[in-house]
Amino acid sequence: MEVWPGEAYPLGATYDGNGTNFALFSEAGERVYLCLFDDDGEETRVELKDVDGYVWHCYLPHVLPGQKYGFRVDGPYDPANGQRCNVNKLLLDPYAKAVHGEIDWDQSLFGYNFGDENSRNDEDSAAHMMMGVVVSPFFDWDGDRKPRIPYHRSVIYEAHVKGLTQLHPDIPEEQRGTYAAIAHPSVIAHLQKLGVTAIELMPVHQFVNDSTLQEKGLSNYWGYNTIGFFAPQNTYCSTGDAGQQVQEFKAMVRELHLAGIEVILDVVYNHTAEGNHMGPTLSFRGIDNSAYYRLMEDEKQYYMDYTGTGNSLNVRHPHSLQLLMDSLRYWATEMHVDGFRFDLASTLAREFYDVDRLSTFFELCQQDPVVSQSKLIAEPWDVGPGGYQVGNFPPLWTEWNGLYRDTVRDFWRGEPSTLGEFASRITGSADLYESSGRRPVASINFVTAHDGFTLRDLVSYNEKHNEANGEDNNDGESHNRSWNCGVEGETDDPKVQGLRARQQRNFLATLLLSQGVPMIAHGDELGRTQQGNNNVYCQDSELSWVDWDKVDQPLLEFVAAVNKLRTEHPTFRRRRFFDGRPVRRGEGEALPDIVWLTADGTLMEPEDWDAALGRCIGVFLNGQGIPGRDERGQRITDENFLIYFNADDHDVEFVLPPKEYAAKWDQVIDTAGEYADSEPIAAGKPMTVQAKAMVVLRAYTPPADEPDHSVAASLAAMADAKGTGKGSV
């Protein structure tokens, strides 16, 4: 075979139109072999003779896209000193842009013999390994441009590629559960109907199915077990062609962008699928164990584990950091991805022992001209000491706001002494983000996510029901802050059904009208259930898939209408925090940008905030008090709004504020569905808000001659659902 020296950069397999350059970093290696495989599994080895800065490289002028390959690294095997090289183990290229096949958990994949972790296993693993695939970088993007939607206009939809599409009746069967399915017109139309601006895909980096789950007939459905940080998961491709997943993924992104929808990836850079010292040797471990993994300082045969998965990536090593940054840039530039949600992001900040918000990884993200312009979303915790870091990430980052989730759940289930915390969370969590120079959009607000109950289950179960996972119901979170509305699980009781429907509307309306960036978990707008299972990480089945034949249509229409209200009114998506100071524009009364009201229409006093049994509150939002200008330089103005929240078990009579706020008020939303057809209410008049309900009012504007096409009108058109237990307005 003709072998040229090639280049040390870029790492991985790079096809240039004529041949392919291969490059692999390994400081531990003494000899490195590139292994090429034909369709019959026959292996051809090429020893890499050229090495620069511990990067071994060559150029093969006749190797084309579709070629399957791997590496073997010959070097020291001394686990006690953190060295685990073994030339008999075929290793996946960390930079492989596509992956062929899966592992079968054969004994040969392990560096030791089962039953004796101190032994050495020299069986050849090639026949049982996944392999890298050389891919063509060429793709017709057809003028694709990233939507670049600002955070304050963003609505994120967290989704699983397979879970969202596997049961969709409009998608051809051969495409269901794939990237092509996400790009299907029916799925895109659904996202557009909801007003979604970004789809956040659960892990699509190549991952490994755990052997322990396979033995139980289960699988790693969620995919938080990455082995390839550059390769789209091959099982989400609608064709079996090696490397085709890259083309299909790009086509998905192109179609979503064309529809004005961004693509955000849930990425798992905190650990890999190789697990702890008892795990298989698949890639990083056999290439350079101590460079890629955090090892115990005094016992290097063991791994630091801040993730609960067996290992943690070594973000102190320059080549591990390079891997992360190269991966992020690749997905942003070559795959046109718009942003990233970092799983267990606190782990990436652990340069030493404690979490360091100024760690090298964050500094690299800050200065990188590509990564810094992407949406960067942190899951701001890990399982290590001091790992809960909500509010402590650098200014460039946004965060999943776990405090928002917990507080909103507590408020609507009627927990005492929640008013002050609730007010902070729905106004953007200034206590968490303002001091670091961030704005309300730093808070990614959510009530539910993939991890935990679905929204319907949140209002239907007090306890988790994870028996199907085979762990005696010991897995998953036990403190869910849920309330079953009086009956555990499914029921035919119309009163309970009506209350549950109202609670779902309460959660979704609160979420969409809070300051910050709302995130909806897929299927919550449809009434999706997992039958009380709050940890379906291993359930690749109808238990976890969205059932498109059982859609709660009134709930779907409600979510779309409320999101339309949010989209049309900058009052609900401010770019700066409230300051409570009076604002005068025009000749009207100077009013603060926000006013908190008691049920009797007076201002909230300190004792009101501290009332243990306080479960209702009103808030006035001044549409003239929005600072800043829009994208065209125009001053931002809006109508005034009132929102009343009643989490009490009884109806509450609220007195509307005096006419200085507005002479009359239109009732735009009522989650109890009682006021869709009512007349405007005059200032100072009483209004009853039903138990466990939320009402949104807008300052009354006399009707013009033309028909009313406002959100209020579209909501009123849905009044036929009133009183059914399923209605939303």
Residue among 257, 149, 155 nearest 564 (CA): 155
104 included as an active-site residue = no
Whether pLDDT at 383 is above 90 = no
Which pLDDT value is given to residue 507? 98
Of 1-10, 21-30, 378-387, 664-673, the range with the lowest mean pLDDT is: 378-387
The answer to whether 65 and 77 are in contact (CB under 8 A) is no
d(C-alpha 238, C-alpha 404), whole Å: 38
39 included as an active-site residue = no
Tokens 């409600």 appear where?
558
- As a whole-number percent, the residues of the chain with pLDDT over 90 amount to 86
Which pLDDT value is given to residue 248? 98
d(C-alpha 295, C-alpha 12), whole Å: 25
Which pLDDT value is given to residue 725? 39
627-678, pLDDT tens digit by residue? 988 888 899 999 999 999 999 999 999 999 999 999 999 999 999 986 555 7
Tell me what the pLDDT averaged over the chain comes to: 93
Which pLDDT value is given to residue 183? 98
Whether the ω angle into residue 10 lies within 30 degrees of 0, i.e. cis, is yes
- Report which secondary-structure segment, H or E, holds 565: helix 553-568
d(C-alpha 432, C-alpha 398), whole Å: 11
> Beta partners for 375?
339
Number of neighbours of residue 716 by Cβ within 10 angstroms: 19
* Mean pLDDT value across residues 132-141: 97
Which pLDDT value is given to residue 673? 85
| Full set of structural domains in the chain with CATH | 12-134 (2.60.40.10), 594-699 (2.60.40.1180)
104-134, pLDDT tens digit by residue? 999 999 999 999 999 999 999 999 999 999 9
Which pLDDT value is given to residue 701? 84
d(C-alpha 280, C-alpha 707), whole Å: 67
Residue among 188, 158, 145, 152 nearest 338 (CA): 145
Which pLDDT value is given to residue 493? 98
d(C-alpha 308, C-alpha 615), whole Å: 38
DSSP reduced 3-state for 205: strand
Q: 599-605: long-range contacts at Cβ-Cβ below 8 A with a sequence spacing of 24 or more? A: 599/652, 599/653, 599/654, 599/655, 600/655, 601/654, 601/655, 601/656, 601/657, 601/658, 601/684
List the catalytic residue out of 93, 158, 248, 343: 343
- Report which secondary-structure segment, H or E, holds 47: strand 43-47
- As a whole-number percent, the residues of the chain with pLDDT over 70 amount to 94
List the catalytic residue out of 248, 274, 288, 379: 379
